[in-house]
Structure 1
Amino acid sequence: MLRKVWAGTAVGLLALSLAACNNSDTGGDGGDAGSGNEPIVLGFSQVGAESGWRTANTTSIKESAAEAGIELKFDDAQGKQENQITAIRNFIQQKVDVIAFSPKVETGFETVLKEAKDAGIPVILTDRAVDTQDKTLYKSFLGSDFVKEGRLSGEWLVNEMKSATGDVNIVELQGTTGSAPANDRKKGFAEAIAKDPKLKVIASQSGDFTRAGGKQVMEQFVKANPKIDVLFAHNDDMGLGALEAITAAGKVPGKDIKIITIDAVKDGMQALADGKFNFIAECSPLLGPQLMELVKKVNKGESVPARIETQETTFTQEQAKAALPTRKY
C-alpha cells in the first residue's frame, strides 16, 4: 500500500512539473505579452493637465492601453520637467518594457534618456519632441507637425487680409516657453505672414497653454495696444481665455479682433461655430491607438519610423458646424 502511495505522488509531481514547464514557454499564445503570458509594461509620463487637449490625450492613452492589453504605469508631471525626469528614472528602476512621454520642453532630457538607453529600455516621444543631436536616445517620435500648424494659420491670415489696407496688428499668445509646439508654431506662423509686410506682430507673450494664462496676457495686450486686429493663440484654451478679456474690453471677438487658434478641441470648435473664433488648425490628441501599436513593435525589437506624423486638417466656421455633432474631443 505504501509503495502505491509513493508511486501516485511521483506521477502527480511529474505532471505538475510538465505543466509548469509548458506554462513558462515564451512562445505560447501570449499575444501582446512582454514575455510569455506577461503583458507589456509601459511607463508613460504625461506633461500635465493644462488644457482640454491634454485631458483628451490622457484619456486616449489610458483607454488604448487597456484595449491593447498593455499594463500602463501613468505619471502626471503637473507641468514640471523635474517631475518627468523623476518619473522616467522610476520607470527605469521598475524595469518597465517601454517608456513613452510628452516632454514639457525640448531641452534637458539627454541625461535621463541615456540612462534609459543604458538600461536597455526603448523610449518613444509623443506629441512633443526633444532637441538632441543623439537620435539613438529614442526610437520614434509620434506627433503633429507644429511648424505646419503655424504655417497653415499664417497662410489663412494672409489670404483673409489680402484686400486690407494699412497695417494689420497681430498679438500672439505663445505656448509654454521652450516647448516644441510653442517654438514651432511661432516659427511656422512667422514664415507664412512674412509674405505680406502689412501683417505685423506687435506683441507676443506666453500664456502657458492655459485659459487663465490666455486671459491674463490678453488683458495686458488690450490695455497696452489700443488697435489689435488679430489674435494668434497657440492653442484653443488660451484663445478661450482671451475671449473673456476681449469681451470685457468692450470688443467683439471674431469681428473687432479676428482669432486664430490651434487644436480644435470641442470648446474651441464651438467658439468657431459661434463666430467667436475665425480659424482653427487641428492638432489631434487621440494618439493612443497609434502609440500602442508602436509600443508593441518596439517591444518586439521591430524597426519603426523615426518620425510618425498624425493626420490633421483645418476648420472654418461652416466646417466646424458640420464637424461638431460627431466630434470626439
Structure 2
Amino acid sequence: MRPTAPTPLTSRRGLLFGTAAVGAGAFLAGCTSNEPKDEKTAAEDRPAADEPGKHVTIGFAGPQADHGWLNAINDNAKRRARTYSDVTLEITEGSNDTAAQIGQIETLINKKVDVLVVLPADGKALTQVGLKAMRAGIPVVNLDRVFNTPQAYRCWIGGDNYGMGLNAGHYIGEKLKDTPDARVVELAGLDNLELTKQRTKGFDDALKNYPNIRKVARQAADFTVESGQAKMAQLLQAQRKFDALWNHDDDQGVGALRAVEQAGRDGFLMVGGAGALSAFQAIERDDGVLKATVLYPPTMSASAIDLARALGRGKGVGGMAEYEIPASVTLYSAVVDKDNVERYMPTGFR
C-alpha cells in the first residue's frame, strides 16, 4: 500500500516540505537553467515554471489502483502532466503482480522514454528493472516504495511513515497531557509491512514524552474499510474505556467509524492517517470522534512528474541554488485538524 523510504526512515504507500503536499508543487515548479550567465542575471535567466521547453516523454508505472490513495497517485500524476505542453505521459495499467509490473516497465524502457517514474508494488523485487533503466540511460524517479539500492534511481520522493506516527502521537499527547492515567489504542495497518512498523514506532516514541499516557491495546487491520470495521469492533469490545485512537489509514478509518457508530461509543478522540476527503469532511463537521488526520500526501506523484520533467530538460529545482535536482525528497506529515482543514481540502482523495 504505501512504501519504504531511504535511510534513516521508511515510508508507505522519508529536503522536507514545510507543509506537505500543498508546498510540494511550489517548491518544484520553477526549473532553473544549468548555465546562468552571471551572478546578476542568473535569477532572470531562469524560465518560468510553465514556460515550455525541450519536450520530455515520461513513463509512469505504478501498482494497481485498488485503494483510494493509490488511485489518487495516478490521478495526480495525470493532472500534473496535462499542465505541461512539453510533457507526454506514457502510463501503464498498473499491477500488484511484480512480474507483470516488471514487464510494463520494460515496455517503457523499450519505447525509449526520456524519464521513468516508478511506484513499485514491491521495491525489492523491482530493483533490477530500475537498474536496467538507469543503465540504459533513462533516469528513474523512484516514487514512495524505495528500491534496494540508490543505483536503481536518480531521485527518490515519498512520504514519512515514522513522521506520521510521531506527529499523531504528539497531537494526541498534547490533547491528553492534562488527563491523568490517559489510555490510548492503536488501529494499525498490515503488520508484515515495514511502513506499519515505522508508523507504530513513531507513535510509541512520541508517547514517551507523556508519562501520563499509556497505550493499552493495538490491533492490526489491512487498509480496507471491511478490516477497519471488524478490527475496530474487536478493540471496542475489549476496551470499554479509552481516551484516544490512532488509526493508520483513512480508508480503513471509514470502517472504524462505522464500528464506533454501531457500538454507540464516544468520549474519545480519533486521529487518522493519509488525508482522505471523507476524513477532511468529518473533521470540518466536527460532529464525531474524528478530530484530525496525519498526511501521507498522494500529491507526491505530481511532484514526481515535476522532478522527471526537470531531469528530462536537464534543469534543477526552482528555489534551490544547485543545478541538479535532489537525490531524495521526503514529504512532511502535517497534522490536519479543524483549524487548518480548509487549506488541505483540495488535496483530499476519494
Q: Secondary structure at the match of 2:307?
A: helix
- Tell me what 1:32 maps to: 54
Q: What pairs with 1:204-223 in structure 2 (closer than 5 Å)? A: 204-207=219-222, 209-223=223-237
Question: How far does residue 217 in structure 1 lie from its aligned partner after superposition?
Answer: 2.3
Question: How far does residue 174 in structure 1 lie from its aligned partner after superposition?
Answer: 1.7
- Tell me what 2:276 maps to: 265
Q: For residues 77 and 295 of structure 1, what CA distance do their matches in structure 2 show? A: 19
Deviations 1:250-296, CA, capped at 9 Å, x for gaps: 213xx3x4211122232111111233312222232223542232112
2:295/2:335 contact within 8 Å kept: yes
Letter in 2 for 1:31: G
TM-score by length of 2: 0.72
- Tell me what 1:145 maps to: 160
Q: For residues 42 and 179 of structure 1, what CA distance do their matches in structure 2 show? A: 29
With over 3 angstroms needed to count, the CA separation of the structure-2 counterparts of 1:201 and 1:98, relative to structure 1, is farther
Where does the alignment leave 5 or more consecutive residues of structure 2 unmatched? 1-50, 316-323
Question: How far does residue 306 in structure 1 lie from its aligned partner after superposition?
Answer: 1.0
Q: For residues 239 and 118 of structure 1, what CA distance do their matches in structure 2 show? A: 42
With over 3 angstroms needed to count, the CA separation of the structure-2 counterparts of 1:78 and 1:231, relative to structure 1, is farther
| 2:246 corresponds to 1:232 | yes
TM-score by length of 1: 0.76
Question: How far does residue 154 in structure 1 lie from its aligned partner after superposition?
Answer: 0.5
2:54/2:313 contact within 8 Å kept: no
- Tell me what 1:190 maps to: 204
The structure whose RCO (Cα within 8 Å, separation 6+) is larger is 2
| 2:84 corresponds to 1:73 | no
- Structure index of larger Rg: 1
Q: What pairs with 1:1-329 in structure 2 (closer than 5 Å)? A: 31-33=53-55, 40-68=56-84, 69-126=86-143, 128-130=144-146, 132=148, 134-174=149-189, 177-178=192-193, 180=195, 182-197=196-211, 198-207=213-222, 209-252=223-266, 255=267, 257-275=268-286, 276=288, 277-301=290-314, 303-310=324-331, 313-320=334-341, 322-323=342-343, 329=349
- Tell me what 2:47 maps to: none
Q: Secondary structure at the match of 1:43?
A: strand
Deviations 1:74-123, CA, capped at 9 Å, x for gaps: 22435444443332233223332221122334433322222222322211
Where does the alignment leave 5 or more consecutive residues of structure 1 unmatched? 1-28, 34-39
RMSD: 2.8
2:157/2:304 contact within 8 Å kept: yes
Question: How far does residue 215 in structure 1 lie from its aligned partner after superposition?
Answer: 1.9
Question: How far does residue 242 in structure 1 lie from its aligned partner after superposition?
Answer: 0.6
**Larger helix proportion of the pair:** 1
Letter in 2 for 1:116: A
